[in-house]
Structure 1
């Protein structure tokens, strides 16, 4: 499967929403093609380099498909799009085209079937409910009812203020139960840092 890549300084998770302003020609063209063919593109985290200009020097090999859910012309003349995370993938090879757009051969990663939440997830579900009241989260229409462990883990991993490398590790985890346990550990570390 060939997928155009959009390297960013963020990690997108399945089911999560991201607003982007598109102004570089390579990405305006890419978005146009995606909208015409009702296809997605891949969001990968930048490891080395910048979002703007030439293709980044290095990006994470595991990313998330982005599906365009809405678009509008911004007052500044740029194209604004809202995407939603789809399937996770692993990049097997990539090449930079003459227009500096990176195109990759990817393998889709299998996500486990959704598992129901258990009592031990009550605190994390309550935390997501509290996050949903934040204006930024509300504007993305996230943080409402969750379908299960996978949904809860993805939304928390995306919304909580973890570092880029920590979020990338969470994205690469296949088991939602393990991902939720890791989120709990990261939260405890965050609380420890705040009280120190």
Structure 2
């Protein structure tokens, strides 16, 4: 097991995948302080799906697997509200956490091993044309660079885009086998008539 690290956690009602891009509006004092510190230090924080509790107010209980978030852009369009865009980096598992005095959740995490880059297997190649069309339509909203030859990247982009419950996205994030993730995406697309059944 890799050594643990300390990471401030931002529980949300959304799932961030590695290489995913997520715009956020930050207004609670604890998260404004966290984001300001991250920008000043060039550090990151963790985004986890909420397992129980509210997104605003008291500290929520997060799912144990989340994704490191690195701030790419920020702006303050209105007083007291910080608009940021984050990009997902490494996945992590929370091994312990505590609530700070200000309500910020601080986690002890271990980094999960990322799979070696591998191409999309021929058996799942039929899911690529639709993603290429969606990427062209999405423009800047689709994380760049597009890596249609990377099975992990393809599976993560589908997991972000498809209209599935957040808990299902969480299960896909937790999968270590990228080909299994592609098989699930392929099955979903076929069942919903989005790609032809071979």
Q: TM-score, with normalisation over the residues of structure 1?
A: 0.89
Shift of 1:126: 1.4
SS across alignment from 2:7: strand
SS across alignment from 1:156: helix
Corresponding position of 2:92? 89
Residue deviations 1:57-100, cap 9 Å, x none?
x2200000000011111246511100000000000001111111
Paired residue for 1:167, among 166, 169, 189?
Answer: 169
Paired residue for 1:15, among 13, 19, 25?
Answer: 19
- Over aligned residue pairs, what C-alpha RMSD do you find? 1.8
1:114 aligns with 2:117: yes
What is the 5 A alignment of 1:106-185?
A: 106-134=109-137, 137-142=138-143, 144-185=146-187
Q: Which runs of 5+ in 2 are unaligned?
A: none
Paired residue for 2:71, among 68, 71, 84?
Answer: 68
Label 1:173 to 1:133 Cα distance change in 2 as closer, same or farther (>3 A).
Answer: same
User: How many residue pairs align between the two structures?
Assistant: 189
SS across alignment from 1:10: coil
Spell out structure 1 runs of 4+ moving beyond 6 A.
Answer: none
Q: TM-score, with normalisation over the residues of structure 2?
A: 0.88
Label 1:76 to 1:32 Cα distance change in 2 as closer, same or farther (>3 A).
Answer: closer
Q: Which runs of 5+ in 1 are unaligned?
A: none
